[in-house]
Amino acid sequence: MITLPEQMLVEARLPAHALADPAAETAARLEAALGGLACAGRRVGVGVGSRGIDRLPPVVRAVVDWLRARGAEPFLLPAMGSHGGATAEGQVELLGSLGVTEDSAGAPIRPAMDVVELGKTADGVPVFISRPALEADGLVLINRVKPHTDFESPRLGSGLVKMAAIGLGKIEGAATCHRAAQTIGYERAISEASRVARGRLPLWAGVALLEDAHHRLARVEVVPAAEIDAREPVLLAQARAWMPALPFADIDVLVVDEIGKNISGAGMDTNVIGRGVDGKPFAAATGRARVIYARGLTPESHGNAVGIGLADVVSTRLVDAMDRRITYTNALSALTPSTVRIPLQFDTDAECLAVAARLVGKDPAEARVVRIRSTLALGRFVASAAFAPEIDGRPDLTVLAPARAWPLTAAGDFDAAGDLLSEPARM
């Protein structure tokens, strides 16, 4: 059995901006932006994606209720490209895992995967859009705005522009747009496809959601369709400013308990880990790890293990949880095969950590190790005792549990009984 460095439980003082009542905020924003719109008798699609956004179900319900109160006939549109295995059933199931169902939303879901080719961009790229979206009388898109995990841009990230082009494009639209990005770049490919789509779609507005550093919904803004191009860069800048970061610039081994599509489109947020889907550093990231060990896959991912290839070492249980058909469908659509390549895998935490330390040339007992639940959960983490001098000089970090042995079970896995990340804070 290996000897691991002593571990401390550390809390990061991250700015908090959580909304007290997101549903009420959503309704108020809708009224302010769309209050004069004639809705009676109109079939309105509400686009919802595949991300694990905080308080997503009440926001979706608030949009549906607001529309129905004005006489509209709202229905939900899964706007998630190739996710859910690129099947109607899979996309409904994926929404359900996020808490969005016909019962929770109070509206039917129309998940049909058939698309219509709207035309071509100036670069000659075909643009495909969901037929139910095109046939609706109105559309309202709901999506989180945040920096993208595949590319860096001050103007475009994950948000309303991308959802109109890729989310509503289903697998054909997503795959075509990603193919074009290989030659003309992501920002240009997505922007131009979205412009064509929004020119034909009956789009009324987008509901932009921003989360704070604690992964709590902090801002809701209803953006009329004509203002999306101007407003999204502003919202993206705010989202970037609120994003958390790894607590240290120099980490030997980063242990990530869970990766998953509900956490990030890349399984792990590349803006946090500092490593792009092509393996190259992300310039915007303030912290980086030499080696990443990924332990598990979120149940909400339904087997989609895109992002497993961003790690250097993974557990066998993560590989076993991977549904290759679903995972490869997503990777082929996004043209990111490197994100699904299976790294070195071992059965136990002890083996994985020993190999991770070896990859950085360290004795496991001396390695600078940080362990997080996921790249969405950086408010509380485990750090090895080697970080104690750095923590002492930082007002933004507090040790909640002093350094102690990192217990392992007889089988060589983390011992849940002594797991600091599962224990309440104490001193």
**Mean pLDDT computed over every residue of the chain:** 92
The pLDDT value recorded for residue 282 is: 60
Alpha helices in 165-289 (DSSP H): 170-184, 186-200, 228-242, 270-273
In the chain, the percentage of residues whose pLDDT exceeds 70 is: 96
CATH number attached to the domain at 22-242 = 3.40.50.11440
* pLDDT higher than 70, residue 74: yes
What is the average pLDDT across 219-223? Answer: 98
State whether residue 329 is helix, strand or coil: helix
Going by pLDDT thresholds of 50, 70 and 90, the confidence category of residue 286 is: low
Going by pLDDT thresholds of 50, 70 and 90, the confidence category of residue 276 is: confident
Residue with tokens 């075509």: 176
| Radius of gyration of the CA atoms of the chain, in A | 22
* pLDDT higher than 50, residue 426: no
What is the average pLDDT across 346-371? Answer: 94
What is the average pLDDT across 109-134? Answer: 95
Bridge partners, 345 (sequence order): 314
Going by pLDDT thresholds of 50, 70 and 90, the confidence category of residue 1 is: low
- What the block records as the tokens of 393 is 């000089």
419 and 406 Cβ atoms separated by less than 8 Å:
no
What is the average pLDDT across 261-282? Answer: 82
The pLDDT value recorded for residue 261 is: 87
Going by pLDDT thresholds of 50, 70 and 90, the confidence category of residue 425 is: very low
* pLDDT higher than 90, residue 236: yes
The pLDDT value recorded for residue 427 is: 32
What is the average pLDDT across 100-123? Answer: 96
What is the average pLDDT across 29-55? Answer: 94
* pLDDT higher than 50, residue 386: yes
* pLDDT higher than 70, residue 284: no
* pLDDT higher than 60, residue 181: yes
Domain boundaries, the chain: 7-14+245-422, 22-242
* pLDDT higher than 70, residue 188: yes
Going by pLDDT thresholds of 50, 70 and 90, the confidence category of residue 73 is: very high
- Backbone φ and ψ of 105, nearest 5°: -90, -25
pTM of the model: 0.86
Cα–Cα–Cα angle for 145, 146, 149, rounded to 5 degrees: 130
